[in-house]
Each structure stands twice: as C-alpha cells, then as structure tokens.
Amino acid sequence: MKKIIYTFVILFISQLNFANELDSILSKAREFGKQKNYTEAIKAYESYIKNAGDENLKEVFVEVANCYFLDGKKEVAVKYIKRAITKYGFTEDEFIYSTTLNQDLSEYALSIIYDDYFSLRKQYLATLN
C-alpha cells in the first residue's frame, strides 16, 4: 500500500514540475513578444504548443498569429487564425472583441477568410460530435 501511495505522490510531483515548466515557456514567449523579438517568441510558443497536449490553445494560437503578423508574415498569421477557428472555435465575435488579437491582424485576417469563415467554423463544430 505504501508503494502505491509513494508512486502516486511521485507522479503528482512530476506533473506539477511539468506544468511549471510549461508555464515558464509560455511566460518566456510572451516576454519575447513584448520585447518585439518575434522569432524567439514564435520558437517558444511552438515549444509550448508541442508540449501542451490537449489544452485549449486558442489564445496561444492567436498570440502566435500576432507575432507572425507583427514580423511581416501575414500569410502565416492567417494560417494560425484559421487553426484557432478549426481546432478551438475562435469566433467571429472574437475577431471584433478579443483583447489578445492585434486589431490590424483582426481586420486583415477577417478580410482574407471572411468567405471561408463558416466552412472553417463547421470543421470545428464537427469535432464536437
């Protein structure tokens, strides 16, 4: 019985360390973004996405899109917005009211994907069934 409890304690502690490590990666990504070091921010965000598993990463995808957009890579930014829609349900209202999405990117991305928005949204809704 003691071995089972010990095993659970070790697993719990390792999960906490992993969560702290992920939080650290996300914090670094955001700090790089604030410093306008978009290349390093994108690398850190990608590392976070790779290791985060099944978390809802909608805001993270939007933050990555912001970095690409501000780095002059508009097409890649739009791809991340599309992924935020199809994988995490980013809504039309969020284009307008999101405090995370860069306003210029919002206008640009919406103008590019407007005709495809509902088909992208249907892809997300299909994952809920």
In the chain, how many domains are there?
Answer: 1
In this predicted structure, the answer to whether residue 17 has a pLDDT above a threshold of 60 is no
Look up the CATH number of the domain holding residue 64: 1.25.40
Give the model's pLDDT for residue 40.
98
- Give me the domain span that covers residue 33: 2-127
More confidently predicted of 1 and 82 = 82
pLDDT at 21: 84
Rounded-to-integer distance, Cα 1 and Cα 16, Å: 23
Token pair recorded at residue 97: 């009211």
The pair of three-digit structure tokens given for residue 36, joined into one six-digit string = 């306008």
The pTM of the full predicted model, rounded to 2 decimals, is 0.82
Interatomic CA distance for residues 67 and 60, integer angstroms: 11
